[in-house]
Amino acid sequence: MNKKNVSIDLLLEYLYIAHELEPVQVRELSRVRIKNQVFFIQTKKTDFVLKIYLDESKERRANNEWEALNHLSKSFPFVKAPIFYDPRPSILPGPILMNPYIEGIELKETIGSIAYSEQNWIMLMKHVIELMCKVHSLSYEIDTDYNKYLKRKFNMHFRTADDFALERLGYDPCVDLYLCKRECIVPERLATCHGDLGAHQIIMHKDFVTSIIDWEDYCLNDPALDIGYLTFSTVRDYFPDIAKVHRLISLIKAITRLKNLEFFISERAIGTMLVEFMETTPKNRKIILDFINTLLSE
């Protein structure tokens, strides 16, 4: 556990001191406590989610999400306006953001249903892609040198140190192939992007998206980044059925016609495996590495 992780007792102390709140229930929602801790808070009047930003980029990520939510919630009902932002909470190790609690289940749970057919999968993915196309149609204003900004944003997602990636993934050829592709990748176009879109970030109710959360990597980028990341996130549990995985990816490619889709699917696959390596050996490791090699070789 990160020594900066916040205990529930410390969180309760903060809520009482800063907001005079005495919750009736607090439950941690965090899966991996690398960048953030997330808590469900229930009070007598309302329920909300509180995110504490950790790691060295916490201030940038917190401010980025605060701005994204305020901006996007004005245009899209599936992005909820934040409740409160505190960039420097007195007794906590990083900024905090309070967001409304949205009832529903994650997309990952929905597609994980045994009864969920490929036809239902593609219909649901079309629904999500349509929503993201609306986000991708927005203009994005930046207040810094454009080229430096683009290079930094375009190269920050899942860009773990190269030596670490090689060590963790066993010096597999896919890592060198990925790094080579990364140097010459050119965005097909630039758009407002989520930046870290996965099946855990999409909240569903009766096969409709009610909320898309976690906008801390909101950025200007290739729309294929969002769709590629989402695609791998939704097919991850279908391994080792590699034929099914490729079939579903082909369907997404036919729908979107995104030139860089395979690159961003492979990038998300590498990033996912690196995160999983911090917990345990990823399932179907060799099959996924071969899958990445195939995508990057096309």
Query: Are residue 119 and residue 93 in the same domain, yes or no?
Result: no
Tell me how many domains the chain contains.
2
DSSP state of 157: T
What is the Cα 275 distance to its own chain's centre?
12
Higher pLDDT, 176 or 10: 10
Higher pLDDT, 278 or 196: 196
- This prediction's pTM: 0.88
Residue 158 clears pLDDT 50, i.e. is over it: no
Residue 65 clears pLDDT 50, i.e. is over it: yes
Containing structural domain, residue 266: 105-297
Query: Are residue 14 and residue 128 in the same domain, yes or no?
Result: no
For 124-134, the pLDDT digits (tens) are: 999 999 999 99
Residue 112 clears pLDDT 80, i.e. is over it: no
- In the listed set 100, 117, 139, which residue is the last one of a domain according to the structure? 100
Higher pLDDT, 37 or 119: 37
pLDDT at 164: 58
Query: Are residue 191 and residue 276 in the same domain, yes or no?
Result: yes
Distance (Å, whole) CA 140 – CA 138: 6
Q: In Å, how far are 63, 124, 246, 262 from 111, measured between CA atoms?
A: 32, 9, 17, 21
Q: Which residues have CB under 8 Å from 42's CB, separation 6+?
A: 23, 24, 25, 26
pLDDT at 189: 86
Query: Which CATH number fits the domain that encloses residue 122?
Result: 3.90.1200.10
Q: Tell me the average pLDDT of the chain.
A: 85
pLDDT at 56: 82
Residue 53 clears pLDDT 80, i.e. is over it: yes
Asked if residue 255 is part of any domain, the answer here is yes
Query: Which CATH number fits the domain that encloses residue 50?
Result: 3.30.200.20
The crossing angle, in degrees rounded to 10, of helices 261-277 and 242-256 is 140
pLDDT category at 115 given cuts 50, 70, 90 is low
pLDDT at 259: 94
Contacts of 157-160 with C-beta under 8 Å, sequence gap 24+, read: 157/195, 157/196, 157/217, 157/221, 157/225, 157/267, 157/271, 158/267, 158/268, 158/270, 158/271, 158/274, 160/271, 160/274
DSSP character string of 10-33: HHHHHHHHHH----SEEEE--S-T
pLDDT at 140: 58
Distance (Å, whole) CA 117 – CA 193: 29
Instruction: Tell me the average pLDDT across 191-208.
Output: 91
Copy the structure tokens of residue 162.
Answer: 């190269």
pLDDT at 152: 47
Instruction: Tell me the average pLDDT across 73-98.
Output: 95
Query: Are residue 242 and residue 158 in the same domain, yes or no?
Result: yes
Instruction: Tell me the average pLDDT across 44-63.
Output: 92
pLDDT at 278: 56
pLDDT at 90: 85
Query: Are residue 149 and residue 68 in the same domain, yes or no?
Result: no
For 230-268, the pLDDT digits (tens) are: 999 999 988 899 999 999 999 999 999 999 999 999 999
